[in-house]
Amino acid sequence: MPRVLYIDDDEGLRLLTQRALRRRGYEVVTAASGDEGLARLIDEFFDLVAIDHYMPGKDGLETLAMFSTLPEMPPVVYVTGSEESRVAVAALKAGAADYVVKTVGEGFFDLLSTSFAQALERTRLVAAKAEAEAALKATNERLEVLLDEANHRVANSLQIVSAFVQMQAAALDSESARLALKETQQRIRAIGQVHRRLYTSGDIETVDMADYLQTLVRELEETWSTPASQRSIHFLSDPIRLSTDRAVSVGVVVNELVSNACKYAYAEGSMGTIRVFLRQEDDEFLLAVEDDGPGLPDAAASPQGTGIGTKIIRAMAHSLKARIDYAAGPGVRVTLRAAL
């Protein structure tokens, strides 16, 4: 049975209201003034409060203002004998859930009971919504923690795989086999860097491409530079974020294009510069990798080496639904354009 605090200075009406609403399924406790009602509200629990507007001393609006300072205030139904809309509007603005115009007879108690039921139902719905949102938030937080842990484990696992590949390469006598494993190791690192950023950035859905590619090109610079053949990679990017799968695809493309430029654009024993750009152009992003080497005999149609890198680039471009173009002479400029 809902517990209601009814505040009215009219003792007779308080008794009538108490009896009438008891028949309608409410337990009613009464108070003769706003101060008495406040004292009861502090000491006892009520599901709902009804306040009469016209009372000596503090009127209903002043009483409602006092109640609004409480840490938790139950819904309030405002009761007034005035049909002036300004009183109702003022009460609703002050925090009342509803208002009822006081009349003589059972009709008033029916209206009051209906108003109570509606106010309690709204309160129940608001509480249920808040509870559902809290539960959803808690679930999302748990999932974020689990996803962070998954990305952490994937990154660590890829690092272990990379170490295995490096050990395997060190055990081989074939230079071409060692080079192939070195390239495989760098591809693994490119993917691992994405997962590492996902669990350290606080964003589990998108990757900061400027930060990710900056680290990737620094690793490539260290990987392909030797005392005799230094490679310098210049990188410039707009602030662009991509989803995880698209970030992986772009990272793999950068890895392949930069590795190709480091290996084939400049002669062994010479210095070489590769430039990487990532720009946003309207609703697309443009990736460009360029060098100052001799170019290609027939653009991308004549891949050097095994051709695996070219196949990987095409596969990643297909996954991005991207356009990829090669321009040669002087140097090589490869561009990839895709929707954000």
- Condensed to tens digits (0 to 9), the pLDDT of residues 173-215 reads 888 888 788 788 888 878 887 777 766 676 777 889 998 899 8
Tens of pLDDT, residues 123-164 = 899 889 999 999 998 888 887 777 777 777 777 777 788 787
34-71 exposure pattern, b = at least 16 Cβ within 10 A, e = fewer: beebbebbeeeebbbbbbbbebeebbbbebbeebeeee
Find residue 250's DSSP bridge partners. Answer: none
**Contact criterion met (CB below 8 Å) for 332 and 298:** no
| pLDDT value for 301 | 44
Find residue 76's DSSP bridge partners. Answer: 49
| pLDDT value for 170 | 81
Per-residue pLDDT band at 299 (split at 50, 70, 90)? very low
What pairing do the DSSP bridges indicate for beta strands 241-243 and 231-237? unpaired
Report the C-alpha gap between 209 and 109 in whole angstroms. 66
Tens of pLDDT, residues 64-94 = 999 888 888 899 999 987 667 788 888 888 8
Residue type at 11?
E
Report the C-alpha gap between 310 and 312 in whole angstroms. 5
| pLDDT value for 145 | 77
Report the C-alpha gap between 51 and 75 in whole angstroms. 11
Report the C-alpha gap between 5 and 45 in whole angstroms. 9
Name all domains of the chain by residue range, CATH numbers in brackets. 3-102 (3.40.50.2300), 205-340 (3.30.565.10)
| pLDDT value for 191 | 80
Peptide bond between residue 297 and the one before it cis (omega within 30 degrees of 0) = no
DSSP 275-322: EEEEEEETTEEEEEEEE-S---EEEETS--TTSHHHHHHHHHHHHHT-
Please state the φ and ψ torsions of residue 82, each to the nearest 5 degrees: -95, 140
| pLDDT value for 175 | 82
Indicate the pTM of the whole model: 0.56
Tens of pLDDT, residues 5-27 = 999 998 888 899 999 999 999 99
Report the C-alpha gap between 321 and 245 in whole angstroms. 13
CA distances from 337 to 17, 163, 340 (A): 74, 33, 9
Tokens 């999932």 belong to which residue? 143
Using DSSP's 3-state secondary structure scheme, residue 89 falls into: helix
| pLDDT value for 276 | 96
Report the C-alpha gap between 253 and 311 in whole angstroms. 10
Spatial CA neighbour of 213 closest among 179, 232, 240: 240
Using CB atoms within 10 Å of the CB of residue 99, give its burial: 0 to 12 exposed, 13 to 18 middle, 19+ buried: buried
